[in-house]
Structure 1
Amino acid sequence: MFREFRAEVEAALADALAARGLPTDDLGIEEPPEDVPATLASSVAFRLAGEVGAPPPEIAAEVAEAVDPEGYEYLARVDSQGPYVNFHAGEAYLADTLVAAQDGEYGRLPDRDTSVVVEHTSANPTGPVHVGRARNPILGDAIARVLDFAGYGVERHYYVNDAGRQVAVFTWAYETFDESDLPKPERDRADYDLVRYYRKGNQFLEDADPEEVEAAEAEIESIMRGLEAGDDETYERVERVVDRVLSGMRDSLERLPAEFDAFVKETEFIRDGSADDVVDRLKDTEYAVYEEDAWQLDLSAFGIEKMLVFLRSDGTTLYTTRDLAHHEWKFANYDAAVTVLGEDHKLQADQLKAALEILGNDTDQLSHAIYSYVNLPDGKMSTRRGTGVDLDDLLDEAIVRAREEVEKRLDSRIRDDELDEEDVERIARQVGIGAVRYDIVSKQPTKAITFEWERALDFEAQSAPYVQYVHARCCGILEEAESRGIDVGAIEFGGGEAAADLDPSVLDAPEERDLLRTIARFPAVIEEAAEDLEPHVVATYTREFAETFNAFYRECPVLAAEDERRRDARLALVNASRATVANALSVLGVEAPTSM
């Protein structure tokens, strides 16, 4: 309803300004300040002050007087307070919100008939996912979820670097060293098993005699050349290692969860000739120069001083060359492309975009979501002989810590056998992994953050458990109603004759109306997050929602309401709240527990 109300406000304000010959290009419509009691406000008076030659409060009063709310479904009245023009929604707005939010899919926007490919994570397939890159799959998966909920047709892709030197070293090492030369794997999974070969190979190249290293380098170079030439046998040798490592990495990522529709391999664009086609076309452009034994692009006309190498002197392509072919494939198959990258890849992203323009592509199709890295917490996570902290370590510790918090809060229910071991484990997993994911996705991507266990798992603060508890509380209220013989399904709007008698106007307490207004905003929050590729906007909304719901819960008894009409209306409001917070958490990739 909020989106419809905003459209009415825009139309009414634009008409009032146009009737007085005033510009309508910037209406200044925004959420009102806390001390302004309105559904929406406009700061247009600030902009018009210089043009009209009057103070903003005077202009705001005149504009409010000029706006005619007649004929609009939701716009009830307009007034001013100080420099703001205030727009107030009527009863129909709140009633329709309550109706709409009974739908389990509440907040999902209509189909836009627009396809988007979201590429994220894409860590090199050389071993387990390192926690230092955890923000990429968390942010990338959340962006994909937001776009999907906003009506886009979304595919999630992992771009596999299976043609670089690291993979060649890995393949050589796997074929060279014996199991007996390696330490015991840290976990019983393919990526942990095979990474031992990669580490052994790199150690050998650093420490072995020069003659042995020279022989090894020759074999590594042979693998790289075989890939570049599209040699089937070489491809199969590399694939044998890469695919097994990826299977383990997927297990780790699915715990977040972060799932993918396709794993697109770099070698595909070598083998189908598209990388060579990119090279030929780039050579023919005015930006191509041959310097320092390599073909490069001079991108200074695009404000980029660093040259972009796209072909080595030996005729082999580079990662960026293949990625250019990859992106042209994206443009041919999707309406838009989003790539999630760490801040250390910003230069490469700018170079890629410039090169794509040189190749004649419409780069308006491409968006980059750039993020800063997460500083890790102190804790019990093992660095395992200096190899770093894996994502699995972080998630394991999150579950352990969450279980400690859950057991403290559920002690009496565990002792009374209301919850068994499986229940406790489920809640600990939902809360623990949800806490990690929520804490990371809730921050603006470009801001560096330090992950802190105490904050992430604080049930009383603005954290995942704080929001998850709202969903569990809603479920508990609805379950209790059912146990008392109240058919909650029957009081949902559209659920039958009983539903037709439900009167939303009895929800007249300030806390009830605040909650309805907050629920009404949810679809607009989804729209904003999708347009800006910023899922943290949804996380901010969930915290505000939780605070508003908790105020309602404290002040407005549901099952102990004064009469049945008010009880049923509040149950409908609780059901609307449950759907809203469940969908908001789902968009963030955080589970919504039914009990906590």
Structure 2
Amino acid sequence: MFRSARREVEDALASALAGLDLPTDDLGIEEPPADVDAVLASSVAFRLAGEVGAAPPEVAADVAAEIDPGDLTYVAAVETQGPYVNFLPSDAYFAETLRAAGDDSYGELPPKDRSVVVEHTSANPTGPVHVGRARNPIIGDAVANVLEYAGYDVDRHYYVNDAGRQMAVFTWAYETFDEEDLPEPERDRIEYDLVRYYRKGNEFLENAPEAEVEAAEDEIQSIMQGLEAGDEATYERVSEVVDQVLSGMKVCLGRLPAEFDEFVKETRFMRDGSVDDLIDRLEELDAAVYEDDAWQLDLPDIDKNLVYLRADGTSLYATRDLAHHEWKFENYDRAVTVLGEDHKLQARQLRTTLDLLGHDADGLDQVIYSYVNLPEGKMSTREGTGIDLDDLLDEAIDRAREEVEDRLEDRLRDDDLDEDDVERIAHQVGIGAVRYDIVSKQPAKAITFEWERALDFEAQSAPYVQYVHARACGIVGEAREAGHDVPEPAAVDADALETAEARDLLRTIARFPAVIEAAADDHEPHVVATYTREFAEAFNAFYRECPVLSAEGATRDARLALVVAARHTVANALDALGVAAPESM
């Protein structure tokens, strides 16, 4: 209802300003402070005060006088507070919110009939996913989720770098070294097994005698040339390594969970002729120059040239990624790419080049994020040091299990819960804590992950919000055990929710679809996380001040219906973030 009320307020303000013969280009609509009993406010009087030659409070009063609340459905009254015009919610606003949130799909917006491809993670298939890159799949998956909630037709893609030098080195090493030359794998999964070859190969290239290194480099170069030429045998050699490593990485990412509709290999665009066609078009651009034994683009307003073709005729990652994005533009209405901050230059080069090629780069949105650090410091897959994402998730589950066992000790002793229940909750809470802590921060801000904060049941963390859902489920379960009917929210009289805490919770519930809309528009899932914390505070205030099961008649029915609406809202908000909503904790 918040979105409907906002449209109603927009129309009413525009009509009022037009009636006063004032410009309507900026209505100044915003959400009021928490202590203001209004659903929306307008600061338009600030903007217009100079134009009309009156103080802002006087302008606000004139604007408010032009609006008749009787003509509005979701606004009961229009009041001024200094320079602000405040719009107070009507009974219909609360009733319609309760009805809408009674549906377990609450928050899902109508289909937009627009397709979006979200590319994220895309870590090179050289070994296990390490924690330094964990922010990409978590943000990327959440971006895709909120876009789906907002009504877009979303595909999730992982772009596989299977044609660069790293994969040529990996393939050569896999075919060169024997199992007995390698240390024991760190974990019993295929990518942990194969990464040993990659590390061994890099160690050899750094330390072996010059003649042996030259021979190895010749073979590595041959693999790269074979891929460029479309040689099927070379492609199969590389794919044997790539596909095995990817299969293990999928298992790791599935634990978050982060799943993909398609793994798009960059060799696809080499093999189908797209890269060759692109290179021909790039060479025709005025920006194309041949310098330092390579074809490059001298791009406007960018300090560093984009190299797209080496002297030996092999393309670069950037070249293949350009072909990849042309393919995206042909098949989707919009493209979203989640990138680490170390790709800022490449992101600018890509957009500028696509523009030079005649594409509308406005159809491409790039979400840039800073990295997650742990107190242990930086990590390197190539050197075999640091912490893998699997290690982080294992520790999250272990720490959550200890916390859950401590909190549920009495229920375990009374056989109300068993070890399977504890394990389920530990997975939901532990992995949810990691995801929530990472996705709740603005992407551009560097963060250091801290266990104490992420798993704090009392602070604004995943467990804090998850507990709200568990508490709501518990209230509904207790009501049924006590023999009370749990009414459908649509069948309840919302007027029975007479307390300020109940109205505040219902007002917070009403905002959820608009929060989804804003998060999708700006590709900022942390907005949803912020909302869940505000929601948890509103629900906890309601829980403290408004007894549900001990209430009677219409009041109990209305409060139970509000709990159901709250359960749907927080479950879907957590789902949009990719965080589980436990039914018990």
Q: 1:510 aligns with which of 500, 510, 518?
A: 500
The answer for unaligned runs of 5 or more in structure 1 is none
Do residues 337 (structure 1) and 335 (structure 2) align? Answer: yes
Do residues 538 (structure 1) and 538 (structure 2) align? Answer: no
CA distance in 2, matches of 1:37, 1:268: 57
| 1:6-405 pair list within 5 angstroms | 6-300=6-300, 303-378=301-376, 387-405=385-403
**Residue 311 of structure 1: SS of its match in structure 2?**
strand
Aligned to 2:566: 577
Residue 20 (structure 1) shift: 1.0
CA distance in 1, matches of 2:79, 2:52: 20
Residue 70 (structure 1) shift: 2.7
Amino acid at match of 2:511: R
Amino acid at match of 1:492: E
Residue 34 (structure 1) shift: 3.1
**Residue 151 of structure 1: SS of its match in structure 2?**
coil
Could you tell me whether the CA contact under 8 Å between 2:128 and 2:381 is conserved in 1? no
Could you tell me whether the CA contact under 8 Å between 2:489 and 2:558 is conserved in 1? no
Amino acid at match of 1:545: F
Could you tell me whether the CA contact under 8 Å between 1:398 and 1:433 is conserved in 2? yes
Could you tell me whether the CA contact under 8 Å between 2:198 and 2:382 is conserved in 1? no
Question: More deviation in 342-351 or 477-486?
Answer: 477-486
Residue 384 (structure 1) shift: 12
**Residue 107 of structure 1: SS of its match in structure 2?**
coil
Cα deviations across residues 448-481 of structure 1 (Å, max 9, x unaligned)?
1111111110000100000000000000000111
Could you tell me whether the CA contact under 8 Å between 1:382 and 1:393 is conserved in 2? no
CA distance in 2, matches of 1:99, 1:199: 59
Could you tell me whether the CA contact under 8 Å between 2:117 and 2:336 is conserved in 1? yes
Do residues 552 (structure 1) and 550 (structure 2) align? Answer: no
Question: More deviation in 47-56 or 226-235?
Answer: 47-56
- C-alpha distance 40-438 of structure 1, shift in aligned 2 (>3 A): same
Do residues 416 (structure 1) and 414 (structure 2) align? Answer: yes
**Residue 70 of structure 1: SS of its match in structure 2?**
helix
Could you tell me whether the CA contact under 8 Å between 1:430 and 1:591 is conserved in 2? yes
- C-alpha distance 527-480 of structure 1, shift in aligned 2 (>3 A): same
Residue 382 (structure 1) shift: 13
The answer for unaligned runs of 5 or more in structure 2 is none
Q: TM-score, normalised by structure 1?
A: 0.96
Amino acid at match of 1:387: T
Q: 1:443 aligns with which of 437, 441, 462?
A: 441
Q: 1:521 aligns with which of 494, 511, 514?
A: 511
Amino acid at match of 2:179: E
Could you tell me whether the CA contact under 8 Å between 1:340 and 1:368 is conserved in 2? yes
**Residue 69 of structure 2: SS of its match in structure 1?**
coil
CA distance in 1, matches of 2:321, 2:147: 23
Question: More deviation in 62-71 or 574-583?
Answer: 62-71
RMSD: 1.4
CA distance in 1, matches of 2:482, 2:454: 36
Amino acid at match of 1:535: P
CA distance in 2, matches of 1:297, 1:518: 51
Q: TM-score, normalised by structure 2?
A: 0.98
- C-alpha distance 35-571 of structure 1, shift in aligned 2 (>3 A): closer
The runs of at least 4 consecutive aligned structure 1 residues that moved more than 4 Å come to: 381-386
**Residue 80 of structure 1: SS of its match in structure 2?**
strand
Amino acid at match of 2:338: V
Amino acid at match of 2:464: Y
Could you tell me whether the CA contact under 8 Å between 1:111 and 1:151 is conserved in 2? yes
Cα deviations across residues 76-130 of structure 1 (Å, max 9, x unaligned)?
2101001110001100010011011010000100000000000000000000001
CA distance in 1, matches of 2:489, 2:303: 61
Question: More deviation in 526-535 or 55-64?
Answer: 55-64
Residue 33 (structure 1) shift: 2.0
CA distance in 2, matches of 1:192, 1:400: 21
Amino acid at match of 2:332: Y
Could you tell me whether the CA contact under 8 Å between 2:158 and 2:263 is conserved in 1? yes
CA distance in 2, matches of 1:383, 1:269: 27
Could you tell me whether the CA contact under 8 Å between 2:111 and 2:152 is conserved in 1? yes
- C-alpha distance 382-171 of structure 1, shift in aligned 2 (>3 A): closer
CA distance in 2, matches of 1:453, 1:251: 24
Question: More deviation in 365-374 or 63-72?
Answer: 63-72
CA distance in 2, matches of 1:24, 1:127: 57
**Residue 88 of structure 1: SS of its match in structure 2?**
strand
Residue 493 (structure 1) shift: 4.2
Aligned to 1:406: 404
Could you tell me whether the CA contact under 8 Å between 2:101 and 2:509 is conserved in 1? yes
The percentage of counterpart residues that share the same residue type is 75
Amino acid at match of 1:63: V
Cα deviations across residues 482-509 of structure 1 (Å, max 9, x unaligned)?
1112232xx1045xxxx3xx32111010
- C-alpha distance 485-517 of structure 1, shift in aligned 2 (>3 A): same
Question: More deviation in 510-519 or 386-395?
Answer: 386-395
Question: More deviation in 281-290 or 259-268?
Answer: 281-290
Amino acid at match of 2:570: V
**Residue 32 of structure 1: SS of its match in structure 2?**
coil
Matched residue pairs, number? 584
Could you tell me whether the CA contact under 8 Å between 1:12 and 1:69 is conserved in 2? no
Could you tell me whether the CA contact under 8 Å between 1:282 and 1:288 is conserved in 2? yes
Residue 385 (structure 1) shift: 8.2
Cα deviations across residues 123-182 of structure 1 (Å, max 9, x unaligned)?
000000010010000000000000000000000000000000000000000000001111
CA distance in 1, matches of 2:200, 2:531: 48
Residue 27 (structure 1) shift: 0.5
CA distance in 2, matches of 1:476, 1:135: 33
Residue 383 (structure 1) shift: 10
Could you tell me whether the CA contact under 8 Å between 1:16 and 1:68 is conserved in 2? no
Could you tell me whether the CA contact under 8 Å between 2:122 and 2:160 is conserved in 1? yes
CA distance in 2, matches of 1:572, 1:243: 50
**Residue 86 of structure 2: SS of its match in structure 1?**
strand
Q: 1:480 aligns with which of 475, 478, 481?
A: 478
Residue 378 (structure 1) shift: 5.0
